Structure 1
Amino acid sequence: MKANITKRLACTLLALAVMITTVFVHVESAQAAERYTYAYKSTDNETAYAGTEVKTPFTLTNNQGIGILIVATAPVDMKITVYNSNGVAMDWADNPFYASASTDWHYDSGVGEYVFTAVLKAMNPGDYYFGITFSENTNYLLYIIQNNESAKINQSKAIITKGFTKKLSVTGAKVKSWKSSNKKIAKVDKKGKVTGVKAGKTTIYATTADGKKLTCKVTVKENKYSVTKPSLSDAGQMGCFVEAYKASYDKSGNLVINAIIINNSANRIVRLKDVKFVVKDANGKVVGTYKASKYNVSVSSYSTKSVKFTLKKSLLKKKKIDLRNATIVRKGGSYYYR
């Protein structure tokens, strides 16, 4: 038996790759056939003695699932155990696994040898040992293959509010390091948590264990609430209303709400009564309510006027929220005319 037998095992390896991808990735088989690589490959005949375990080290660069292929001149009973990098058996219900000479091998006529195949539980990227204990002295070839599905980052573009965070993650590979091209705009920790530092743009890089670089273009925006400012035409005939269109924190931590009063009537507004603005965070939870039982103001007929309402820091349930993703809704209110 020679190591170049892998050329004649191409179909078997291909089928195993398809099996791995089908089980763990759920993509089309035609695609799967091109997406495997060796985590370990025998370069020559290997010899094992009856009852003596052989531990073979191998390294996984992704968590997309692995397959095992063993070639021998005759079927043989085996005990298969997978160990972590410290030599401790993985805590699986079927580890070790016992393979039967009579039921778990098949003869490959194209190869002229007996072949054992198995798909193992998906594991995280890292170093492992594959242990085999044969019941008889055996010459064999061992192939450990892994699905080579490309590593992917969960977002290629992201917008973050200054002072707030967003979690980036990578699937299909182990991340070796995270880096920001401009830490003055946004910084990233070793777990992929990105924090907005200052308004601007930067790029976050995730470098995988096999050296591949994945990127996410990050834009950091100021922590301000902003919606389209209403105009007189939005009020309709003989309509009046007041709406918030901007909000930000002042230096003392108070929430300053910019609102516009629309007066599309023939009368002058002289007072607002029982005006209420409810502030909700991105999760829809109320974090503060501005209330004014009486607010004197002068708004001429068929005109608008911008005003400010200050919600004191002491009245906020949360001292700082992501205003860019918040909502500010007016509740109730009436108008006095003259």
Structure 2
Amino acid sequence: MRKVVSILLAVLMLTAMGTVAVTSASAEETATVNGVVANVGDTVTIDYFVKSDCIWEDFQGHVTYDYDGLQLESFEMPDVTTGIMTNTLNKGLVYYTGVDINSNYKFYNEVNFYRIKFTVRQAGSYVVNNVWEVADGNDVDMIVDDGIILNPERLITREVVTATPKPTETTTTKTNTEPSTTKPEPTNTEPSSTTPTVTSSTPSPTTPVLVKELYVQKSVGVNIGKTAKLVYSLEPKNATNKNLAWSSSNTKIATVSNGVVKGVKAGRATITVKTTDGSNLTAYCLVVVNQPVTSISLSKKATMYTGKKLALKAKVNPANASKKELTWKSSNTKIAKVASNGVVTGVKAGTVKITATAKDGSRKSATCTVTVRQSVSKITLGKTNVVLPKKGSSYNVKVTVAPKNAYNKNVAVKSANTKVAKVSASTVKSGKTVKITAVKKGTTKVTFTAKDGSKKSATCKVTVKK
């Protein structure tokens, strides 16, 4: 017994002689946020940039994130300063909107649209997603309408994700350097005669966790026959009953199943979602069902001249298509250009394809093959001042058109006063001559006009002496 006590005293004295102990941190838990690796406790900053080639009057959208894994620290819109409102009260959601009809929003140069910061709560893989709801340009068609990006080429975005490590902490522990004088209690080496006691209890029923918040996107657009998955969420994530009840105000326009909407007929319907755990929460989404373009009717062939304009007429089918706007494109602008209203301008001789495409995303299109012919650019006369000595005398005037590749080289010939001088033909081809004959004394003009519609002309003065 004394030997055992002596050994214990020696151990305690050796332990008391320690000075300083430094505790080292255990291995960090990691997470990924939009593909960037960060440790638990780190700050993750996402800068979202926007560039657009048109002026906006208003916009609306929201950012979704995992509330359990990420703690929202701040949300700001650094380069958008007028007419904006934000809402960060909903867990896992940040709403933003902007309306500035007077000054408008100009994103010609890339702007820092928003900056959002999080602290990583726990390990996992997380996606922070921006959802556009509305973006309306005042000099173009809607860029985003009811959540559908109609003009992706006018909305260029990118994001930069940065992870900032949390400050490191070091813990020191100082122990008593004086030898311990406390005597340890003698250890009872005798076997215990105490009989172990076994207890049992009946588990109490678990209290159900009710849903406290329910969110569904405000609106969505969908074409007839197509589907769209609604963005929705509920809090808390550990709610016992997450089942939801979905319904449509008009199933003849849109149906819904487990948050997936299907367009039936053009029109509007309200989708209602309710909790089923007794929390009696309800949310609504407006669905706009669009009638897509099914075909476009357009003349297959057309002919025009350089320097002239030709208005192509396209018919959008069906007549009740929700969005009838078209984009026009030329296969070769060196031959012919086309304006946004379908008016073609001939540039040089050749053949080009003009295509009209529906803007509603249906990808329906029609093409017209346009042949551009070279117009007459100039008419040259062999002589522009003819003097005839007397009645019956005549003179042959040669007519030449330019350029040489002009498609229609015919020229109309007309005397202003046939009682003074008359012409041998009303039409002459380039390179040929027209005879001008004196009728009686006087002065008149003979006009030569291109017959291709270019309106190019030349005039010859005729004087009859007697």
TM over 0.5: no
Structure number with the higher helix fraction is 1
TM-score after normalising by structure 1: 0.33
